[in-house]
Amino acid sequence: MKTENTAPAGESLNFIEEIIEADLAAGKYQSVLTRFPPEPNGYLHIGHSKSICLNFGLAQKYGGKTNLRFDDTNPVTEDTEYVDSILEDVRWLGFEPANIFFASDYFDQLYDWAEELIMKGRAYVDFSTPEEVAAQKGTPTTPGTPNKYRETSPEENLDIFRRMRAGEFPDGHCTLRAKIDLASPNMHMRDPYLYRIKHAHHHRTGDKWCIYPMYDWAHGQSDSIENITHSICTLEFIPHRELYEWCIDSLGIFPSRQYEFARLNLTYTVMSKRKLKQLVEEGHVRAWDDPRMPTIAGMRRRGFTPESMRDFATRIGIAKRENLIELSLLEFCIREDLNKRALRRFAVLNPMKVVITNFPEGQTEWMETENNPEDPEAGKRPLPFSRELWIEQDDFMENPPPKYFRLSPGGMVRLKSAFIIRCDETVKDAGGNVTALRCTYFPESRSGQDTSGLKVQGVIHWLSAEHAKTAEVRLYDRLFRVEDPAAEEDFKSAINPDSLEVISKAFVEPALMEAGTGDRFQFTRLGYFCVDPDSGSTGMVFNRTVTLKDTWAKEQKK
RNA sequence: UGGGCCAUGGUGUAAUGGUAACACAGCAGAUUUUGGUUCUGUUAUUCAGGGUUCGAGUCCUUGUGGCCCAACCA
C-alpha cells in the first residue's frame, strides 16, 4: 500500500488547451468550436486520427462542438469514395460531427468575396504563365517584381473575372491573384493565387463552376463562416497563417484563428497520403484498408480498437516539436486494451503431431479452460482431449538451449488446462526431420486436480487433432525495414518483403468457426487476432493484430 | 546566404523563476497452468557559451543544430 502523499498536481495542459482556457477566461468566446477539415482525396491515417482526437477532444473537454468539413476545392483529385470512407472512419473512432459541411457549400459566398476584393483593388487577374509568375515572385532572399496586370483597374478586373467564371477561357489561361506584397519575406504573401480555371466536374457542385478557389482563399473564410474559434492545423501551415488572417481582415468577417501543432510520425511507417496512395496503386499492398497500412481503415481491419487509438492519441501528446513515435507505444496501447477484453482461444499455427501412447484410441476426455483470466465474468469453455494432438513446432526442440522450458526428448511439459506429458520418442522422416512426437501422459496430473507431484516449468497450448478445424491466418510485420522510410532516397526500396506471411492451413478451436467479422481474440501464447472480412464459405480468415510480448524470443536473440 | 517554427533520458510528453517528473522502450527480480498479465526495483534527460537572479529547463543575449516556405495541391 502506498502512503506517499503527493501534492494534488494541477492537470497539465497542452499549449492549445492553454490558449483556449486563456481565451475563455478573457471572455473572447462563449464556447469552443473546432473543425476537422480533410480533403477527400485519400483515406484517413493514424496521423489524421491524432488530429481528430485533438479537435473533437478539445470540444468535448470545453463543452463545445466540432464540425467535419470536407476541403473539396480541387475537383480533379477528389472523390465521393473518399468522402464516405472519411465519415465512416471518424464515426468508428467514436466521434459524431456537430455538422457535416463542404468547402464547396461556400463557393457562392467565396466568389462574392472575391468580387468584393477586386473592387477594393486588392485582387487582379493575371495572364502570366506559371513560370512567369514564379520568376516574378523572386526568391526568399530577393523581392519579386510586379507585372503589368497588377495595375489593371478594378472595373476591368471584375469584367475579366466574371468572364473567367462564365467559362470564356480555357484551363490555365489566367488566374485571380491577391494584391499584397511582392517584397514580403513570407513567400505566401507575394500575391498568392486565389482562383484558377479548371473545367472539371466537381463531386458535389457538378459542372456549375469552371473556376475553383485555392486553399488559402477557401479555408479561413470557411472557418469564419462556421464561426470556428480555434482552427487547428499542422506545422507546415504556419507560413499560411499571415495570409489566413489577411483574408479574414480584408473582408472584415468573424476572426477565426489558426494554431499549429506537430504532425504524427511513426517509426517503420510512412504517413503521407501521396506515399500511401502510391503503395496502393502500385500494388505493394492490397488496398487502402490492407491491414499493414497505417490508415484507419487498415488498422480497423488489422484489429485495432477505437479505444486503443484514442488512448494512443492522448499518450503521444500535442506539441510543436517534430517527433517520431516508436511503434512499440502503439503496440502497447492495443495490447493493454485487448488483454482485458479479448477472449482466449487455442490455435496452432505451425503444427507438430503428438501421439499420447497411453491414451486410448477413439476416446475423448473433456477439459475446461478459462475464456479470459483477466475477466472471471468471461466464464469457461470445454476443450476436447484425445490421443492425437497438435502442438506448435516452436514448442519442441530436439537439442534445446539452456532455460528452454518447453518439450524436448525425455522432457516434460504441461498441456495448458490438461495434463503433463513426457516426450518418449521422436518420429523422423527420411531427411531426419522430426515429424511427430510419441508421448506419455500422466492421468493424475489433470489440471485443477493434480496429485501427480510432478513439477514442470513449461506450459504449452495444444489442440485435439480429431476436433481441430482449419483456418487461414495472416501474419503481419512492419511494412518497412527502416525506422524512417520517408527519409530514404526512395522509400519503396525500404519496403519489408516479409510484411505478410499467410498460413493457409492453421488449426483452431471449433468454437472459432462461429466468430463474426471483426471479432477479436487472443490466441493463447501467440497474440491477438481478429476475423477478416474475407472469411466466408471457403473458410475463416484471421489477421494477427499484434503478437504477445515475447521475452523468450528476446532472450534468444541475445 | 530572406523569413518562420523548434530544441528536456533511447522515444514522447510534463515541470508556467524554487527538489527535473510521467509513460513507452531497456535492464534486473518476484508472481504466474499464457516465457502473457500483474508487481517491485533500476539505468538514463534540460543543445552550447555568456548574462540577469539568493535561485534558471524556464527570463535576456550570442551561437549551433533540425524542420518548414518560392504548386494554377491541401
CA-to-C1' span, A443 to B35 (A):
26
Residues 6+ apart with CB under 8 A from A104: A70, A72, A73, A202, A204, A205
Three cell numbers at A360? 486410448
CA-to-C1' span, A158 to B10 (A):
60
CA-to-C1' span, A308 to B69 (A):
36
Residue whose CA lies closest to nucleotide B74 C1': A215
What ipTM did this prediction achieve? 0.97
- Nucleotide nearest A394 (Cα, C1'): B35
Note the pLDDT of residue A264: 98
- Nucleotide nearest A415 (Cα, C1'): B33
Note the pLDDT of residue A558: 72
Note the pLDDT of residue A10: 60
How far apart are alpha carbons A436 and A418 in whole angstroms?
20
Q: What 3-state DSSP class applies to A140? A: coil
CA-to-C1' span, A406 to B40 (A):
27
CA-to-C1' span, A516 to B43 (A):
46
What residues pair up with A391 in beta bridges, in sequence order? A352
Note the pLDDT of residue A287: 97
Note the pLDDT of residue A417: 98
- Nucleotide nearest A460 (Cα, C1'): B34
Global confidence as pTM = 0.96
How far apart are alpha carbons A557 and A551 in whole angstroms?
10
CA-to-C1' span, A121 to B58 (A):
47
The three-state DSSP-derived secondary structure of A72-124 is CCCCCCCCHHHHHHHHHHHHHCCCCCCEEEEHHHHHHHHHHHHHHHHHCCCEE
Which residue is associated with the grid cell 531426419? Answer: A432
Q: What is the DSSP letter of A377?
A: G
How far apart are alpha carbons A497 and A476 in whole angstroms?
11
Which stretches of chain A score pLDDT less than 70?
1-10
CA-based angle A129:A135:A136, to the nearest 5?
A: 90
How far apart are alpha carbons A390 and A355 in whole angstroms?
9
Residue whose CA lies closest to nucleotide B70 C1': A139
Report, as residue numbers or ranges, the catalytic residues of A: 39, 263, 273
Note the pLDDT of residue A9: 43
Measured to protein CB atoms, the chain B nucleotides within 7 Å are 1-8, 10-16, 23-27, 33-38, 40, 66-74
- Nucleotide nearest A185 (Cα, C1'): B3
Residue whose CA lies closest to nucleotide B10 C1': A326
CA-to-C1' span, A82 to B62 (A):
51
Residues 6+ apart with CB under 8 A from A339: A374, A522
- Nucleotide nearest A401 (Cα, C1'): B35
Q: What are phi and psi of A199, to 5 degrees?
A: -80, 75
Residue whose CA lies closest to nucleotide B72 C1': A196
CA-to-C1' span, A316 to B12 (A):
6
Residue whose CA lies closest to nucleotide B66 C1': A322
- Nucleotide nearest A332 (Cα, C1'): B24
Question: What is the enclosing helix (H) or strand (E) of A425?
Answer: strand A420-428
Q: What 3-state DSSP class applies to A163? A: helix
Residue whose CA lies closest to nucleotide B24 C1': A329
